[in-house]
Structure 1
């Protein structure tokens, strides 16, 4: 999947691009079933909310053949190779679950701020591609973005270790208010919440300020975040566990475009 000139211009201006219906229903059914199984596991990579509900499963691509294929999927890899002009590697792989009624907040932050402070990543030549496994609605904890905030570099942040079960470098209220005001259009709203059906994909800049509210609805919201980094920009500090900040900088060899469908077919045949 290559980005058009219009998409490249939108990404440069807004800091994100949204692709509805990037993956088929069959592909998403396979990924969602695998995600549900992984979130039940008791292993170090699976972090939970203070209530015990699943929050994040790290590095699922290292122990799940289904997510290993997703981590090499050309629809996700090619746009970043195009943007960076070089090969990429997996810096981080997260399965984020906003469980029904129990999914907690993700505070306002920049991802590159964490990668720079904790992992020694030299430059913001890495970003997230988010794959919606469930329908993301305005009511079930969607990702909130502040358009154009990626153009202002890395902001000062505090290391919040108490609000949730996961420590995060977070921005203060004044900073977020100023950024949202600067991004506001004629409606006076400077925050967007991309929503869509399962199979939609959101790509956003590593410096784009974002957050997500709690999910107090009966509707779960699972999203896979594949963080891809330019190989020449690999991390230089190893302060976090390897399953959170990967240390294998091998360039990704993309899978075939129909790899997930072929796996689903083979799995059904084997199951019979």
Structure 2
């Protein structure tokens, strides 16, 4: 999947791009079922809220065939390679779950400061590209993005250890207020199967979810090969040390997963 000139221009100007319904319903259901199985496991790679609710499952492509297939799907890899002009490697793979009624917040932050300070990533030549596993609505804790905030570069941030379960390099209220007054806030929403990609320096966060509707999103963090991390401090399951270029496939592997699921 390659981006057209209009999409490239939008990403450059706004710092994000939403591509609705890239994955058909049957493939999304196969990934959703895999996520259900993953979140039932007790593993160090699965982080939970204080009440035990699953929050993030890291590196599940290492033990889930469905996730491994998704991590090398050309629909996700091609646009990032196109933007960077080179091969990419998988810096991180995770499923973020915002549970119905109890899903907690993600504070305002940029991703690159964490990748740089905690992992030794040299430049913001990496980005998240995400697949919606559930319908993301205005009411169930969608990602909030400050458009054009990537143009401000990496902003001063502090290491916030008071998050629900995941320490972040977060932005102060004054910084966020100034950016929002200038650029506003958008909440990309859409049906399961939509794909969202955003710049490493885009300012984003999300509110809690007190609705009956869960919100799960798969995130691939893809980095240019020339941008491999040099001083990781976090575990390998959070910041991968394998810099092998992603070997893409055309989506047929997920189709086989759908067929296997239907035959089971």
Are 1:80 and 2:43 an aligned pair? no
How much does 1:51 deviate?
1.2
For 2:156 and 2:119, how far apart are their aligned partners in 1?
16
Q: CA RMSD in A?
A: 0.8
Kindly report which structure 2 residues correspond to 1:44-59, keeping only aligned pairs within 5 A, or say none.
Answer: 44-59=44-59
Structure 2 counterpart of 1:260, from 248, 254, 258: 254
How much does 1:162 deviate?
1.6
For 2:247 and 2:208, how far apart are their aligned partners in 1?
36
Gaps of at least 5 residues in structure 2 are none
1:132 corresponds in structure 2 to 132
1:248 corresponds in structure 2 to 242
How much does 1:266 deviate?
2.8
SS of 1:76's partner is helix
SS of 2:114's partner is helix
The C-alpha deviation readout for 1:135-161, integer Å capped at 9, x for no partner, is 000010000000000011111111111
The C-alpha deviation readout for 1:97-154, integer Å capped at 9, x for no partner, is 0001111000000000100111111100000001000000001000000000001111
For 2:179 and 2:119, how far apart are their aligned partners in 1?
26
How much does 1:179 deviate?
0.4
Are 1:7 and 2:1 an aligned pair? no
How much does 1:163 deviate?
2.8
Are 1:91 and 2:91 an aligned pair? yes
SS of 2:137's partner is coil
For 1:258 and 1:135, how far apart are their aligned partners in 2?
24
SS of 1:179's partner is helix
1:151 corresponds in structure 2 to 151
Are 1:203 and 2:194 an aligned pair? no
Q: TM-score by structure 2 length? A: 0.99
The C-alpha deviation readout for 1:200-233, integer Å capped at 9, x for no partner, is 0000000000000000111100000110000110
For 1:51 and 1:175, how far apart are their aligned partners in 2?
31
Structure 1 counterpart of 2:221, from 227, 238, 241: 227
The answer to whether the 8 Å contact 2:75/2:250 transfers is: no
1:123 corresponds in structure 2 to 123
Gaps of at least 5 residues in structure 1 are 184-189
How much does 1:256 deviate?
2.5
